[in-house]
Chains A and B, each alone.
Chain A
Amino acid sequence: MKTTDPGPLLRVRNLTVTFTERRSTPWRRPGAVTAVNDIDLDIEPGGTLGLVGESGSGKSTTARAVLRLVRPSGGSIEAAGFEVGSFGRRVPIAYRRAVQAVFQDPLGSLDPTKVIGDIVAEPLGIHFGLRGRERDKRVAELLDQVGLASHHGGRYPYELSGGQRQRVNIARALAVEPKLIILDEPVSALDVSVQSQVVNLLEDVQERTGVAYLFVAHDLAVVRHASDRIAVMYRSRIVEEGPADRICERPAHPYTEALLAAVPDPDPARQRLQRERRRELRAAAPAAGPRPATGCPFAARCPHRMPVCAETFPGWTPVPDGGRVACHLFGGEGTARPSDTHPDYQETSR
């Protein structure tokens, strides 16, 4: 299918995921939480889309919906030529081959009763029917690809360091030569010095195999480094999307701006500026109000809040240097000019 239509590898439209909460008391009606609300995403073959947002914003739920680990309540997901919504209880094995995943908790995502070699070998048996010598050879190759020695194959997950465990997870994902890997916070649990090793490894793998990534993380600096494009999520909505550098240098959405101001920098001089900026934005923010049921999810914290913000969710406005933003400041039909509206982000400040 994909060969006839060279469209995006992943196309998500109007995805909505709602969870019913467990009832706290039998006589109360179960509440519902909308974890993901009407979002769109596209990833080109071989590309990387970063998905950032704070905890609970719905990033992982989005990732899990694409993996069919949760069932969406609305919208469509097309990935690698498959219509994910049409799957029943059983996910086609071919889809599992095309779309793989690496999760945040490197230890938790490995079966503690299996040795590394068996963990990496499992998909080889399931998908290619590989056995015996042939399979061992491929396992050794895969371990080598992710920078592990073959003697690691005989170890249990808890006997490896965090970075090594994440390499095992990557090796397992690579075993089936997927087209898309969903990376849900793949480096958040790792130490700084190991984090960059894993980011580099992911990059090498992409260069070699042409795999595409959905890179979910809360750390904007890591995401910027790893992604071509970034989508910013806030409380179940995507509020801004665009090329990584544009988002990080000339953010349009007030939430993206606040997020950027909060990223700490190890350069104390730069960090002093960051801190000022952070305080300024907070001073300008209104006293935390209730979160509006409709309208802009950021309204409760936004320094630019207008009456209309509490009523309707803003439509999309294109941003000149790429991407688009959902914010009433930028009107509906007009074109947002973040470089005009944010004097400090103008070219001269470089």
Chain B
Amino acid sequence: MSEVKVPAAAVSGRSGSRLLSRLVQQRATLFWAAVVLLVVLAALLSPLLSPHDPLKGNIREGLLGPSADHWLGTDKLGRDVLSRLLYGARVALLAGLEAVGIAALIGIPLGLLVGYLGGWPDRIAMRIVEGVMSVPFLVLAIALISVLGPGLTKSMAVVGVVYAMTLLRLTRGQALAAREELYVDGVRVAGAGDRRILFRHILPNITPPLIVQVTLMIAGAIIAEATLSFLGLGVQAGQASWGSMLSDAQASIRESFFLALPPGLAILLTVLAFNQVGDGLRDLFAREAKGGSLGVNPVHHESGSGQPPPPGLVAADPLLRVRDLTVSFPQPGAGRVTVVQGVSLDVAKGEILGLVGESGSGKSVTAMSLLGLVPDPGRVAASAVELDGRELTGLSFEELRKVRGGAIGVVFQEPIASLNPAYTVGDQVAEVLREHEGLSRAQARARVVELFEQVHIPEPDKRIRDYPHQFSGGMAQRVMIAMALACRPRLLVADEPTTALDVTVQGQVLDLLLELRAETGMSILLITHDLGVVADVADRVAVMYAGQIVEGGPTEDVFRRPAHPYTEGLLASLPRNVRRAGRLPSIPGVVPPPSAWPVGCHFADRCPYARPQCLETPVELSARGDDRATRCVRAGELTLAGVGDVPAAGEPLPPAAGRPVVKADPPLISTRIEKRP
């Protein structure tokens, strides 16, 4: 899902047809696009469609009401209103195209150039743009036209130049951002010159926002034309334009109120249609850009198989008990795909359970679904999710929110991104306390300092006044942990808590987790892709692959004697700090996407031990010994290699404990320096 970072591929090729199919779902945009199309047709075909000459009329037939001959009646000079309206569409569109065309021709190339070059050309261009844009648009246009003289072409050229400033600024901003993108470095290193980078790579990537802006600008230009024509600065007197029609109507408003309606409605509808299409396009491109929003998704209750999961995944004294958890997302063209299939597991009181798997295996979705935090179109169901005996399925989102942050604390991967940059960290933690525990301001503050001490943030009473960006990654993660601990949770859900941190800092955060567990007796559900982290802190491990738990049991046993071929492959392919012995073992192929999961064993196409029977029927989890579970039809016959079996020839063990702890004192220098004789 997070794969969908593809705003710009919007423009051509197969992604274009995908965009089209998405457009079809945007009914409103389609409707307004049809309106635009009608206006365009009216403009193009006005000579054919018009029943009368728009410029000639019989003054004796002035101000007639609608009739069979004159559907919309006639104006004061007896000219047919419908014909004038149709010709007016032509004027409006031509004016819009002229202004926007000029704006695009000036604004886009200049914007690209100054955005890409930066430096002084950029600064000069931006000063000019700011100067021009600081004057109200119409005032500027009227001032210029009064110099140049009236006339539609001239006045729209002026409008175009003013609009060019807006486009220039937009293009420049987009180009500036695109210039920093890694793919630009990529093509530059490939040998592409500036012109190629600019027109072949950056321009196609920034086209979508430009299209949106240009569409909205046409609407603006149509209004500008009408306004200027109304004021007599646009079309020549007598010519049919919606603006001049309005002005005529105004002149005879006492005699006929009706005359103002057709041009007024035409302007309103056309402008509205262009604006709606522009907004629709923006939505369309934006939807390409993000996968979906974080939404609210309570866990639905659904009766499961009733089968208890095998040992290895169950605990005698569970704090968290999950049964038959299933999560699905709608996928275009494929109905719903199930990304987590029937996950059952327990977390015992005071236990750290490691949930490992590669990206796309469903480990994060599993954890987030327990908290009601699955992104929006997702659907979560389970036969049971019990926290300390309390059933969480069927709870409303509001009730779940109380549980989360109360009995369950959460820590995410990106500590700094998870904190609000606009508030001090102290205030953010205090807010949690005041909301969930109802503490007063002073009480909350005292407790925050206490929490910061608990997670070893130095000088807590000073640091609570700092903002997130003033913290390093490791310290920010401590703040997140402090926040998660605020309401003394029974269960801490930590999703890749150390992945964004440096290894030396990672060690400190893991030590902190171990220490907090010992202090508070809480349980931890630790989600990670790093087997080293699991080996470090987890008592038990559950391995996920392609939406299913494939193996579970005590960490040490599982890693020494894996019972599933995937666990074996994962352990073997992990680069370790050992002397090189040929190529790294690896698992061939890639994790298949959810829509391609087979009925049988999900791992079959990558498994070196696969047999035809593996693909026949769904593979169930089965017990192995009295504390292990595995999902492999050949589990009984296979003997798999674990970490102890890694050839470690010639490698020294890590330094033994008991090495004298060295204090930061100078005398040591004598023992460490070996002067050459």
Out of B189, B571, B586, B663, name the residue touching A197 (CB < 8 Å): B586
Interface string of A162-194 (1 = CB under 8 A from B): 111000010011011000000000000001111
A115 to B192, CA, bound (A): 17
Interface string of B190-206 (1 = CB under 8 A from A): 11110010000100110
Q: Which chain A residues lie closer than 8 Å to B672 at the CB level?
A: 304, 329-330, 340-341
- Whether the Cβ atoms of B191 and A127 lie closer than 8 Å is yes
Distance from B428 Cβ to chain A, minimum over Cβ atoms (Å): 22
Q: Which chain B residues lie closer than 8 Å to A321 at the CB level?
A: none
User: Is A88 an interface position by the 8 A CB rule?
Assistant: no
User: Is A41 an interface position by the 8 A CB rule?
Assistant: no
User: Is A29 an interface position by the 8 A CB rule?
Assistant: no
User: Known: A100-B189, A258-B504. Is A304-B591 also a contact (CB below 8 A)?
Assistant: no
Q: Which chain B residues lie closer than 8 Å to A161 at the CB level?
A: 590-591
Residue of B with least CB distance to A57:
B502
Q: Which chain A residues lie closer than 8 Å to B189 at the CB level?
A: 67, 69, 96, 99-101, 173
- Whether the Cβ atoms of B576 and A265 lie closer than 8 Å is yes
- Whether the Cβ atoms of A103 and B190 lie closer than 8 Å is no
Tell me the residues in window 110-129 of chain A with beta carbons closer than 8 Å to chain B beta carbons: 110-115, 122-123, 126-127
Out of B186, B201, B586, B662, name the residue touching A193 (CB < 8 Å): B586
- Whether the Cβ atoms of B662 and A112 lie closer than 8 Å is no
User: Is A292 an interface position by the 8 A CB rule?
Assistant: no
User: Is B598 an interface position by the 8 A CB rule?
Assistant: no
- Whether the Cβ atoms of A303 and B664 lie closer than 8 Å is yes
- Whether the Cβ atoms of B502 and A218 lie closer than 8 Å is yes
Q: Which chain A residues lie closer than 8 Å to B664 at the CB level?
A: 284-286, 302-305
Residue of A with least CB distance to B586:
A196
Q: Which chain B residues lie closer than 8 Å to A163 at the CB level?
A: 590
Q: Which chain A residues lie closer than 8 Å to B205 at the CB level?
A: 111-113
User: Is B487 an interface position by the 8 A CB rule?
Assistant: no
Q: Which chain A residues lie closer than 8 Å to B586 at the CB level?
A: 193-194, 196-197, 200
Q: Which chain B residues lie closer than 8 Å to A158 at the CB level?
A: 3-6, 9
Tell me the residues in window 620-635 of chain B with beta carbons closer than 8 Å to chain A beta carbons: none
Residue of B with least CB distance to A307:
B666
A335 to B590, CA, bound (A): 49
A265 to B556, CA, bound (A): 12
User: Is A143 an interface position by the 8 A CB rule?
Assistant: no
A330 to B534, CA, bound (A): 37
- Whether the Cβ atoms of B656 and A279 lie closer than 8 Å is no
A222 to B503, CA, bound (A): 13
User: Is B254 an interface position by the 8 A CB rule?
Assistant: no
User: Is B35 an interface position by the 8 A CB rule?
Assistant: no
User: Is A138 an interface position by the 8 A CB rule?
Assistant: no
Interface string of A222-264 (1 = CB under 8 A from B): 1011000000000000000000110011000000001111111
User: Is B420 an interface position by the 8 A CB rule?
Assistant: no
Q: Which chain A residues lie closer than 8 Å to B502 at the CB level?
A: 54-55, 218
Q: Which chain B residues lie closer than 8 Å to A278 at the CB level?
A: 507, 511
User: Is B185 an interface position by the 8 A CB rule?
Assistant: yes
- Whether the Cβ atoms of A266 and B535 lie closer than 8 Å is yes
User: Known: A266-B571, A280-B661, A303-B663. Is A344-B507 also a contact (CB below 8 A)?
Assistant: no
User: Is A11 an interface position by the 8 A CB rule?
Assistant: no
Stretch at the interface among A32-40, A78-86, A267-275: A267-275
User: Is B306 an interface position by the 8 A CB rule?
Assistant: no
In the A-B complex, the 3 residue pairs with the smallest Cβ-Cβ separation, listed nearest first, are A264-B532, A344-B655, A196-B586
What would be 7 A-B contacts, judged by CB atoms less than 8 Å apart?
A: A266-B559, A268-B559, A268-B643, A278-B511, A306-B669, A334-B676, A344-B655
